[in-house]
Structure 1
Protein backbone atom coordinates (compact mmCIF):
# COMPACT_ATOMS: atom_id res chain seq x y z
CA UNK A 1 0.00 0.00 0.00
CA UNK A 2 1.26 3.48 -0.85
CA UNK A 3 2.68 5.67 1.87
CA UNK A 4 0.55 8.84 1.79
CA UNK A 5 2.31 12.21 2.04
CA UNK A 6 2.35 13.92 5.41
CA UNK A 7 1.16 17.48 5.92
CA UNK A 8 4.43 18.45 7.63
CA UNK A 9 6.65 17.48 4.68
CA UNK A 10 9.02 20.38 4.21
CA UNK A 11 12.62 19.44 3.69
CA UNK A 12 13.47 17.72 6.95
CA UNK A 13 13.89 13.95 7.25
CA UNK A 14 10.78 11.93 8.06
CA UNK A 15 11.09 8.99 10.45
CA UNK A 16 8.60 6.89 8.45
CA UNK A 17 10.06 7.55 4.98
CA UNK A 18 11.88 4.71 3.21
CA UNK A 19 14.03 7.09 1.14
CA UNK A 20 14.95 9.24 4.16
CA UNK A 21 16.19 6.02 5.79
CA UNK A 22 18.30 5.22 2.70
CA UNK A 23 19.75 8.77 2.75
CA UNK A 24 20.62 8.32 6.44
CA UNK A 25 22.25 4.95 5.77
CA UNK A 26 19.75 3.02 7.92
CA UNK A 27 18.57 0.92 4.97
CA UNK A 28 21.12 -0.46 2.50
CA UNK A 29 20.93 0.32 -1.20
CA UNK A 30 23.16 -0.37 -4.19
CA UNK A 31 24.52 3.16 -4.52
CA UNK A 32 25.49 4.51 -7.92
CA UNK A 33 26.39 8.05 -6.86
CA UNK A 34 26.13 10.45 -3.93
CA UNK A 35 26.53 14.21 -3.76
CA UNK A 36 25.83 16.86 -1.18
CA UNK A 37 22.25 17.12 -2.45
CA UNK A 38 21.37 13.79 -4.11
CA UNK A 39 21.65 10.02 -3.78
CA UNK A 40 21.28 7.58 -6.69
CA UNK A 41 20.81 3.83 -6.33
CA UNK A 42 19.63 0.84 -8.33
CA UNK A 43 15.93 0.03 -8.10
CA UNK A 44 15.22 -3.30 -6.37
CA UNK A 45 12.36 -3.96 -8.83
CA UNK A 46 13.84 -2.80 -12.15
CA UNK A 47 11.48 -2.05 -15.04
CA UNK A 48 14.33 -1.80 -17.57
CA UNK A 49 17.89 -3.17 -17.83
CA UNK A 50 19.02 0.13 -16.28
CA UNK A 51 16.67 1.44 -13.59
CA UNK A 52 18.20 3.90 -11.16
CA UNK A 53 16.35 5.98 -8.59
CA UNK A 54 17.62 9.49 -7.91
CA UNK A 55 16.45 11.16 -4.72
CA UNK A 56 17.20 14.47 -3.06
CA UNK A 57 18.68 14.31 0.43
CA UNK A 58 15.93 16.69 1.54
CA UNK A 59 12.41 15.36 1.95
CA UNK A 60 9.59 16.74 -0.18
CA UNK A 61 6.61 14.59 -1.17
CA UNK A 62 6.90 15.04 -4.95
CA UNK A 63 8.93 16.66 -7.72
CA UNK A 64 6.75 19.77 -8.04
CA UNK A 65 6.98 20.52 -4.32
CA UNK A 66 10.74 20.00 -4.42
CA UNK A 67 11.15 22.28 -7.45
CA UNK A 68 9.05 25.04 -5.85
CA UNK A 69 10.88 24.86 -2.51
CA UNK A 70 14.45 24.10 -3.63
CA UNK A 71 14.88 24.57 -7.39
CA UNK A 72 18.66 24.16 -7.20
CA UNK A 73 18.25 20.69 -5.68
CA UNK A 74 15.72 19.76 -8.38
CA UNK A 75 18.26 20.88 -11.00
CA UNK A 76 20.97 18.83 -9.28
CA UNK A 77 18.73 15.77 -9.53
CA UNK A 78 18.25 16.23 -13.29
CA UNK A 79 21.93 16.99 -13.84
CA UNK A 80 22.90 13.81 -11.96
CA UNK A 81 20.43 11.78 -14.05
CA UNK A 82 22.07 12.96 -17.27
CA UNK A 83 25.57 12.30 -15.99
CA UNK A 84 24.65 8.83 -14.75
CA UNK A 85 23.01 8.03 -18.10
CA UNK A 86 26.33 8.87 -19.74
CA UNK A 87 28.28 6.71 -17.28
CA UNK A 88 25.84 3.84 -17.91
CA UNK A 89 26.41 4.33 -21.67
CA UNK A 90 22.71 4.86 -22.36
CA UNK A 91 22.19 6.22 -25.88
CA UNK A 92 18.56 6.98 -25.07
CA UNK A 93 16.77 6.96 -21.75
CA UNK A 94 13.72 8.15 -19.90
CA UNK A 95 13.51 10.18 -16.68
CA UNK A 96 10.17 9.69 -14.92
CA UNK A 97 8.67 11.52 -11.95
CA UNK A 98 5.45 9.89 -10.69
CA UNK A 99 3.25 12.22 -8.65
CA UNK A 100 0.40 10.78 -6.62
CA UNK A 101 -0.72 7.23 -5.97
CA UNK A 102 -2.86 7.25 -9.15
CA UNK A 103 0.33 7.80 -11.18
CA UNK A 104 2.15 4.95 -9.46
CA UNK A 105 4.01 6.88 -6.75
CA UNK A 106 4.46 4.54 -3.78
CA UNK A 107 7.12 6.42 -1.79
CA UNK A 108 6.14 10.02 -1.13
CA UNK A 109 9.67 11.42 -1.19
CA UNK A 110 10.45 13.19 -4.47
CA UNK A 111 12.40 10.91 -6.78
CA UNK A 112 13.21 10.32 -10.41
CA UNK A 113 13.42 7.00 -12.21
CA UNK A 114 16.22 6.80 -14.78
CA UNK A 115 15.24 4.04 -17.22
CA UNK A 116 17.21 2.77 -20.18
CA UNK A 117 18.71 -0.18 -21.98
CA UNK A 118 15.55 -1.10 -23.88
CA UNK A 119 13.12 0.52 -26.26
CA UNK A 120 10.60 2.85 -24.64
CA UNK A 121 7.11 2.99 -26.12
CA UNK A 122 4.76 5.96 -26.14
CA UNK A 123 2.38 6.41 -24.55
CA UNK A 124 3.84 4.77 -21.43
CA UNK A 125 1.90 2.59 -19.03
Structure 2
Protein backbone atom coordinates (compact mmCIF):
# COMPACT_ATOMS: atom_id res chain seq x y z
CA UNK A 1 0.00 0.00 0.00
CA UNK A 2 1.38 3.46 -0.87
CA UNK A 3 2.58 5.72 1.87
CA UNK A 4 -0.28 8.16 2.64
CA UNK A 5 2.28 10.86 3.46
CA UNK A 6 3.03 11.08 -0.29
CA UNK A 7 -0.36 12.37 -1.33
CA UNK A 8 -1.51 15.98 -1.52
CA UNK A 9 -4.84 15.41 0.20
CA UNK A 10 -3.41 13.59 3.23
CA UNK A 11 -0.41 15.89 3.56
CA UNK A 12 -1.98 19.31 2.91
CA UNK A 13 -5.78 19.36 2.80
CA UNK A 14 -6.72 16.92 5.57
CA UNK A 15 -4.02 18.23 7.90
CA UNK A 16 -5.36 21.76 7.45
CA UNK A 17 -2.07 23.08 6.06
CA UNK A 18 -3.83 24.58 3.05
CA UNK A 19 -6.83 26.77 3.72
CA UNK A 20 -9.68 25.66 1.48
CA UNK A 21 -13.33 26.74 1.40
CA UNK A 22 -15.23 23.81 2.92
CA UNK A 23 -18.40 22.67 1.19
CA UNK A 24 -19.15 19.70 3.51
CA UNK A 25 -17.38 17.76 6.23
CA UNK A 26 -18.16 14.93 8.59
CA UNK A 27 -16.07 12.31 10.39
CA UNK A 28 -15.51 10.24 7.22
CA UNK A 29 -15.54 12.57 4.21
CA UNK A 30 -14.41 16.05 3.24
CA UNK A 31 -15.61 18.23 0.36
CA UNK A 32 -14.17 21.60 -0.58
CA UNK A 33 -14.42 24.18 -3.33
CA UNK A 34 -11.48 23.56 -5.66
CA UNK A 35 -8.81 26.24 -5.29
CA UNK A 36 -7.95 26.10 -9.01
CA UNK A 37 -11.36 25.20 -10.46
CA UNK A 38 -11.83 23.63 -13.85
CA UNK A 39 -15.46 24.82 -13.98
CA UNK A 40 -17.33 27.80 -12.59
CA UNK A 41 -18.60 25.59 -9.76
CA UNK A 42 -16.14 22.85 -8.77
CA UNK A 43 -16.09 20.78 -5.58
CA UNK A 44 -13.64 18.01 -4.68
CA UNK A 45 -14.95 15.17 -2.49
CA UNK A 46 -12.61 12.73 -0.74
CA UNK A 47 -12.52 10.24 2.10
CA UNK A 48 -10.59 11.26 5.19
CA UNK A 49 -9.12 7.74 5.25
CA UNK A 50 -6.31 7.23 2.77
CA UNK A 51 -7.54 5.18 -0.18
CA UNK A 52 -5.39 5.37 -3.30
CA UNK A 53 -8.14 5.08 -5.93
CA UNK A 54 -11.48 3.60 -6.83
CA UNK A 55 -9.68 0.38 -7.80
CA UNK A 56 -8.02 -0.07 -4.40
CA UNK A 57 -11.25 0.06 -2.39
CA UNK A 58 -11.73 -3.16 -0.43
CA UNK A 59 -14.81 -4.96 0.92
CA UNK A 60 -14.22 -3.27 4.27
CA UNK A 61 -14.59 0.12 2.54
CA UNK A 62 -18.16 -0.49 1.36
CA UNK A 63 -19.70 1.78 4.02
CA UNK A 64 -17.19 4.50 3.17
CA UNK A 65 -17.98 4.19 -0.54
CA UNK A 66 -21.70 4.47 0.20
CA UNK A 67 -21.03 7.59 2.30
CA UNK A 68 -18.97 9.12 -0.51
CA UNK A 69 -21.74 8.39 -3.02
CA UNK A 70 -24.37 9.82 -0.65
CA UNK A 71 -22.44 13.09 -0.39
CA UNK A 72 -21.65 13.14 -4.14
CA UNK A 73 -25.39 12.81 -4.75
CA UNK A 74 -26.10 15.64 -2.30
CA UNK A 75 -23.57 17.97 -3.99
CA UNK A 76 -24.66 17.02 -7.51
CA UNK A 77 -28.31 17.54 -6.51
CA UNK A 78 -27.43 20.99 -5.17
CA UNK A 79 -25.66 21.85 -8.43
CA UNK A 80 -28.60 20.55 -10.46
CA UNK A 81 -31.03 22.67 -8.44
CA UNK A 82 -28.90 25.82 -8.66
CA UNK A 83 -27.26 25.49 -12.08
CA UNK A 84 -29.32 22.94 -14.03
CA UNK A 85 -26.45 20.50 -14.69
CA UNK A 86 -23.64 18.63 -12.96
CA UNK A 87 -20.78 16.29 -13.76
CA UNK A 88 -19.35 13.77 -11.27
CA UNK A 89 -16.20 11.75 -11.92
CA UNK A 90 -13.02 10.27 -10.53
CA UNK A 91 -9.73 9.71 -12.33
CA UNK A 92 -7.49 6.64 -12.45
CA UNK A 93 -3.91 5.89 -13.45
CA UNK A 94 -2.06 8.67 -15.25
CA UNK A 95 -5.21 10.83 -15.14
CA UNK A 96 -5.12 10.84 -11.31
CA UNK A 97 -2.72 13.59 -10.27
CA UNK A 98 -3.05 12.92 -6.53
CA UNK A 99 -3.03 9.28 -5.50
CA UNK A 100 -5.89 9.69 -3.02
CA UNK A 101 -9.41 8.70 -4.07
CA UNK A 102 -11.42 11.80 -4.87
CA UNK A 103 -14.37 12.86 -6.98
CA UNK A 104 -14.76 16.07 -8.93
CA UNK A 105 -18.24 17.53 -8.99
CA UNK A 106 -18.64 20.45 -11.35
CA UNK A 107 -21.03 22.65 -13.19
CA UNK A 108 -20.85 25.64 -15.46
CA UNK A 109 -18.44 26.94 -18.02
CA UNK A 110 -14.99 25.33 -18.25
CA UNK A 111 -12.43 27.84 -16.99
CA UNK A 112 -9.18 26.19 -18.13
CA UNK A 113 -8.02 23.15 -20.09
CA UNK A 114 -7.83 19.76 -18.35
* TM-score normalised per structure 2: 0.81
Question: How big is each residue's C-alpha offset from its partner over 1:81-102, in whole Å with a ceiling of 9 and x where there is no partner?
Answer: 121233342432111110011x
Q: Does 1:74 align with 2:73?
A: no
Q: Which runs of 5+ in 1 are unaligned?
A: 1-7, 120-124
Between the aligned partners of 1:98 and 1:69, the Cα distance in structure 2 is 22
The number of aligned residues is 108
RMSD, matched Cα: 2.2
**Stretches (4+) displaced over 3 A:** none
Q: Does 1:19 align with 2:9?
A: yes
Q: Does 1:99 align with 2:92?
A: yes
Q: CA deviation at 1:68?
A: 4.5
Higher strand share: 2
Contact persistence 1:38–1:54 (CA under 8 A): yes
Pick closer, same or farther for the CA change 1:31–1:87 going to 2, 3 Å: same
Q: Which runs of 5+ in 2 are unaligned?
A: none
Pick closer, same or farther for the CA change 1:67–1:114 going to 2, 3 Å: farther
1:59 aligned residue (50, 57, 60): 50
Match of 1:34?
25
